[in-house]
Amino acid sequence: MSSRDLASRSQPSPAQLADVLERVLDKGIVIAGDIKINLLDIELLTVKLRLLIASADKAREMGIDWWEGDAFLSRRAEGDGNGALEQRLRRLETAAGLGDEKAGEDAT
């Protein structure tokens, strides 16, 4: 058996990789870990990591749908009060004398 035959057997084929990815996204996988930094028995920093890898459909089944309310990721979140906040910001900029400069920047 040549080294070429061994190399072709050890590398996963695209079909196998696709199957593994499909299974992970279908079932989901959770990776959890904690990082603690101590100095002389004094806890300086604790980082808790929780990572969930799953398809969007699987995440919805588990009750996870935070991206649907995220203004950067969803068009549905536009009516969440940002318009009132932007109007208030414009009024404050105008009162501070910054409103005209902002309009001039938008035109260029």
Q: What is the pLDDT of residue 76?
A: 54
Q: Report long-range pairs for 55-63 (Cβ below 8 Å, ≥24 apart).
A: 55/25, 55/26, 55/28, 58/25, 58/26, 58/27, 58/28, 59/28, 62/28
Residue 96, classed as helix, strand or coil, is coil
Q: What is the pTM of this model?
A: 0.40
Could you list the pLDDT tens digit for every one of the 108 residues in the chain?
Answer: 565 565 556 666 667 888 888 888 888 888 889 889 998 888 899 999 888 888 888 888 888 887 777 777 666 555 556 777 888 888 998 988 886 654 555 544
Among 20, 22, 1, residue whose Cα is nearest residue 12: 20
- C-alpha dihedral over 15, 17, 22, 25, to 10 degrees? -170
Element (H, E) at 31: strand 29-39
Q: Domains of the chain: which residue ranges?
A: 3-64
Burial 7-17 (b: 16+ CB within 10 A, else e): eeeeeeeeeee
Residue 2, classed as helix, strand or coil, is coil
